[in-house]
Amino acid sequence: MEKYRADKLFYNVNLAVKSVVQNGVSEIEDLAEKIDNNETLCEKLEDQRRAHREYESKLMTEYLNNVKILKELNEKYLTDAQLISIKYERQQLNEYKQSLTRQNDLTQICAFTKSKSAAIMATNKKLENEIQSKRIKVISQFTSLLNRYDSEIGDKKIYLEKLRAERCDLEENLKEIEEIINQQSAIYDEYMYKRRQVDVDRVEATRKSHAARTIQHSINDRSNLILIHNPISVAREQCGTVGLNSTRMTKVPLGTVSFNSVMSFSVTSLGFFLLTRSCAVPISPSGNKPSFILVPIDNFRIQDNILAIAIYNLKK
């Protein structure tokens, strides 16, 4: 770069000198022509020559200085070029040594890679052959299964359609059976209701028959039967009330029975006993409990005008 600058400077100086010389020569020629016409121009020409010589001397001095600078630059350029060349050669030598080392390493790596690749290729080839054989085997099995599936699925579709038809028939039969069951259930409910009514009537008839027999038997032994047709009015007319064991009682003459809206009483020679709608409960203040028959009063409600019947049998 410095050499290029020096050459350029030298070229510019030469061009300037050449242009100056050419200008001086042209001027000198002009002056020479004018000398013939006017001698006074000689002095001017001489002055002009002197000025040109001074200018040429100045240019020459500058030129020499530039040449000296160019030489110094050239020497420096050569020195630098030599140093750079040496440095570059050393760098190239080091890089060459490193490249040789890397080349040796790469050679070893390539050899190992080639051997490894050969082994891998052989293994891959073996695996590829095995995969191909398995693929062929699987394809044959799949084809066989597919054909079998097609054949079986056709039969199963036919069987499924048959089952669907049977299911539709069964659903229709089920609906008919449900309708029949509903009808039979209604008939059964009606029958059971009538049967319960018949049972109730039979029980009522049995009760009436049993009550009639009991009354008939008691009529034969009038000493043990008290029959009250209007017990409430009799109790209100013939008796007062007394308290016994914190229970509302009615005091009546011996051998009679008194009733109110809640309970009924019977009086014997040995004490009192209470008759309710369900049973007879003995009450004996003296401690001597009478012997009597516990009879549900409901069994004796055979007529509207007979409200209750007390049957007792004193122990003698």
* Residue 208, burial from CB neighbour count under 10 angstroms (0-12, 13-18, 19+): middle
- Per-residue pLDDT band for 8 (boundaries 50, 70, 90) equals low
- Per-residue pLDDT band for 308 (boundaries 50, 70, 90) equals very low
Q: 161-194, pLDDT tens digit by residue?
A: 888 888 888 888 888 888 888 888 888 888 888 8
Contacts of 284 (CB under 8 A, 6+ apart): 270, 271, 272, 273, 290
Q: What is the pTM of this model?
A: 0.23
Residue 244 CA to residue 241 CA, distance in Å, equals 10
CA 115 distance to own-chain centroid: 54
Residue 79 CA to residue 93 CA, distance in Å, equals 21
Query: What's the pLDDT score for residue 294?
Result: 34
Q: 193-229, pLDDT tens digit by residue?
A: 888 888 888 887 787 777 666 656 655 554 443 333 3
Q: Which tokens in the block code for residue 301?
A: 């409600």
Contacts of 52 (CB under 8 A, 6+ apart): 20, 24, 27
Q: What percent of the chain has pLDDT over 90?
A: 0
Place of tokens 């080639």: 114
Contacts of 273 (CB under 8 A, 6+ apart): 265, 266, 280, 281, 282, 283, 284, 290, 292, 312
- Per-residue pLDDT band for 314 (boundaries 50, 70, 90) equals very low
Q: 77-135, pLDDT tens digit by residue?
A: 888 888 988 888 888 889 888 989 988 999 999 989 888 888 998 898 889 999 988 88
Give the number of other CB atoms < 10 A from CB of residue 63: 17
Q: What angle do CA 44, 46, 51 make, to 5 degrees?
A: 95
Give the number of other CB atoms < 10 A from CB of residue 253: 9
Residue 299 CA to residue 280 CA, distance in Å, equals 13
* Residue 228, burial from CB neighbour count under 10 angstroms (0-12, 13-18, 19+): buried
